[in-house]
């Protein structure tokens, strides 16, 4: 074969290969992926915003932004399940009715988002039914569940308030770390997925997986903080950059959440791995001027999964794949993830307090000022009452000196929050039955209750101490 003929054959082969690749892309759209031996699997996603109330604007904005990323990445609505209370977009205090933004200069992320489980439909029972794929156990909502199979991937993103060993749900209930891990193990045993990735934004979010998530069930989890730290609100009135003036009472996003999503907005997800995103987000969350306002993004489970490309789980913008040219999505702006601007942050646990203080400052008439003042006083009084109750209960059980130490004791790295999770549930229930339901603020004492369990306190001792203190303080 002469050189001219050889060149023609190579050119024909190149054209044939290019046409074949284009055909395969059309056969396997971005809501599918291919694992070994050409097996085609679907991409599934479960998005959860576990809060309600205008002070928690950021959680629903986070989830809506995540939906837009997945939708743009090629996932179909039938494979994306959304939990959110849906009380923010048309809330009386929302300055842009029907619109949610996740960045000061951002466009609407609310449009088109499925309303699968709204209001009190977003509860622990429905969450576990959806996760397990059990349609018959779902009550209310769209009825959509994760009907995933052995070749499918699942991406779970959760954002809300948390506390040691628990995260909140939109009906006011909670998910327990041990129950969550048990549900994941059952899902794995049922061969209902190939690989799963979980992104979790909440205070003490690392405690949901620390010492609990195995590395052999094909689950990789990234959390906004370790087992002891708060997570932080961002794009608030006094952060850099701040929220627009009309949003001064609330925050538009959370640091961890906006970091992974803006990283996804600006990068080619067919070329960026989960590990690279973890590293980028880890750097950006350390942006506070104050050390005690920082959280350390953590990773748990099967770390080998972190070598997978993002496209495997959340898809990718088709313009990146087909044109190799990425235009920044308008919900965000370009950020320097390697050297972000230092700023102050807002603890998720304190956002309600700041919301009420800001409402008082911004009140335009005496009636609004009086109402805001009363709400603020109630919140402050509630916090003082919970602090006092738990400290006194601890003092009765352990004595004043030992009680103060055990209240905040943190177990060594790699250990779960508590050995007996049923004990923790009982102690929280005991407290609530005598002293009232634990608020988002009060749930931070779940570590104190866990330490009581770890110290061998009996249920009878806990009932006696709790009933005594809360009866005296009424």
Dist CA 249 CA 314 (whole Å): 32
- Do 27 and 40 contact (CB within 8 A), yes or no? no
Burial of 362 (0-12, 13-18, 19+ CB in 10 A): middle
Candidate list 33, 65, 103, 161, residue with the active-site label: 161
Burial of residue 290, with CB atoms counted within 10 A of its CB: 0-12 exposed, 13-18 middle, 19 or more buried:
exposed
Q: What are phi and psi of 300, to 5 degrees?
A: -140, 165
Q: Is 236 a catalytic residue?
A: no
Whether the CB-CB separation of 177 and 198 falls below 8 Å is answered with no
Alpha-carbon gap, residue 444 to 458, rounded angstroms:
21
Helices 421-435 & 446-454 angle (0-180, nearest 10): 130
Nearest to 252 by CA among 369, 96, 375: 96
Residue 254: strand, helix, or coil: strand
Query: Strand, helix or coil at 441?
Result: coil
Q: With the CA atoms of 243, 246, 248 and 254 taken in that order, what torsion angle do they form, in degrees rounded to the nearest 10? A: -40
> Residue 79 gets which letter from DSSP?
G
Is the CB of residue 245 less than 8 Å from the CB of residue 358? no
Residue tagged active-site, from 203, 251, 423, 435: 203
Cα–Cα distance, 345 to 239 (Å, whole number)? 6
CB atoms within 10 A of CB 268: 18
Q: How many CB atoms lie within 10 A of CB 45?
A: 26
Q: Annotated catalytic, 161?
A: yes
C-alpha–C-alpha distance, residues 419 and 421, integer Å: 6
Label residue 415 exposed, middle or buried (CB < 10 Å: 0-12, 13-18, 19+).
middle
Q: What distance in Å separates the CA atoms of residue 468 and residue 462, rounded to the nearest whole number? A: 10
Which are the catalytic amino acids?
A: 161, 203
């Amino acid at each position: 074969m002469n050189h001219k003929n050889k060149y023609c054959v190579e050119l024909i082969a190149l054209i044939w290969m290019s046409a074949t690749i284009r055909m395969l892309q059309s056969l396997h759209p971005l809501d599918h992926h291919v694992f070994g031996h050409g097996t085609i699997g679907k991409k599934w996603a479960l998005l959860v915003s576990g809060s309600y109330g205008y002070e928690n604007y950021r959680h629903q904005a986070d989830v809506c932004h995540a939906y837009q990323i997945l939708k743009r990445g090629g996932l179909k609505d039938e494979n994306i399940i959304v939990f959110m209370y849906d009380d923010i977009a048309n809330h009386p205090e929302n300055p842009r009715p029907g619109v949610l933004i996740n960045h000061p200069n951002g466009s609407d992320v609310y449009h088109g988002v499925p309303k699968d489980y709204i209001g009190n439909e977003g509860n622990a029972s429905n969450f576990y039914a959806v996760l397990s794929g059990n349609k018959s156990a779902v009550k209310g909502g769209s009825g959509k569940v994760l009907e995933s199979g052995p070749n499918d991937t699942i991406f779970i993103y959760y954002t809300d308030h948390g506390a040691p060993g628990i995260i909140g749900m939109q009906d006011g209930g909670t998910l327990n770390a041990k129950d969550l891990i048990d549900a994941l193990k059952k899902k794995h045993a049922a061969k209902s997925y190939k690989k799963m990735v979980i992104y979790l934004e909440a205070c003490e979010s690392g405690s949901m997986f620390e010492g609990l998530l195995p590395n052999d069930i094909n689950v990789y989890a990234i959390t906004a903080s370790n087992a002891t730290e708060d997570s932080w609100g961002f794009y608030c009135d006094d952060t850099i950059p701040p929220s627009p003036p009309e949003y001064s009472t609330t925050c538009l996003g959370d640091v961890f959440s906006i970091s992974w999503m803006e990283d996804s907005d600006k990068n080619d997800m067919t070329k960026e791995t989960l590990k690279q995103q973890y590293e980028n987000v880890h750097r950006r969350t350390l942006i506070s001027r104050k050390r005690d306002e920082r959280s350390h993004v953590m990773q748990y489970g099967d770390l080998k999964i972190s070598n997978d490309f993002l496209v495997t789980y959340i898809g990718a913008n088709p313009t990146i794949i087909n044109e190799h040219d990425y235009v920044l999505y308008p919900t965000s702006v370009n950020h320097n993830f390697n050297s972000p601007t230092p700023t102050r942050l807002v603890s998720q646990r304190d956002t309600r307090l700041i919301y009420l203080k800001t409402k008082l400052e911004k009140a335009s008439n005496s009636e609004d000022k009086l109402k805001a003042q009363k709400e603020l006083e109630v919140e402050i009084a509630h916090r003082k009452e919970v602090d006092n109750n738990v400290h006194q209960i601890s003092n009765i059980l352990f004595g004043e000196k030992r009680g103060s130490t055990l209240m905040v004791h943190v177990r060594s790295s790699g250990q779960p929050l508590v050995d007996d999770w049923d004990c923790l549930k009982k102690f929280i229930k005991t407290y609530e039955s005598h002293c009232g339901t634990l608020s988002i603020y009060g749930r931070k004492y779940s570590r104190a209750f866990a330490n009581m369990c770890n110290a061998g306190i009996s249920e009878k001792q806990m009932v006696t101490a709790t009933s005594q203190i809360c009866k005296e303080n009424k």
